[in-house]
Amino acid sequence: MEHHADFAVPITHRLWIETTLPRAHGGGTIGGRAIALGWWVESGEKPGDAPPPTGTLYLIVDEAQAGPPIWVAQGNIARCRFED
């Protein structure tokens, strides 16, 4: 499933994330520097009645895969670390 964030904030520290998701064109799994932390919300019953966030996402720049950065759900993260 392709994710998108309704809200996002930039990540200012160098956070490296490895995922369990295969790259679209093969060659391992998606991994790289996270540049944003996002979340989405399910729509409320009434306009303007938004419930709490229902999912956390990370926007990852995978230099080994052509294309734009990829939103990855927190449940698909295998490992992460801060780089110096």
Domain spans of the chain?
7-82
Higher pLDDT pick, 66 / 9: 9
Taking alpha carbons only, the member of 38, 29, 37 closest to residue 79 is: 29
Determine the average pLDDT of the residues in 21-35. 91
pLDDT in tens, 45-65: 555 666 665 678 999 999 998
Determine the average pLDDT of the residues in 69-79. 93
Q: Indicate the SS3 state at residue 74.
A: helix
For residue 22, what are the β-bridge partners? Answer: 29
pLDDT at 53: 58
pLDDT at 54: 63
In angstroms, rounded to a whole number, what is the distance separating the alpha carbons of residues 78 and 84?
20
Architecture of domain 7-82: Roll (2.30)
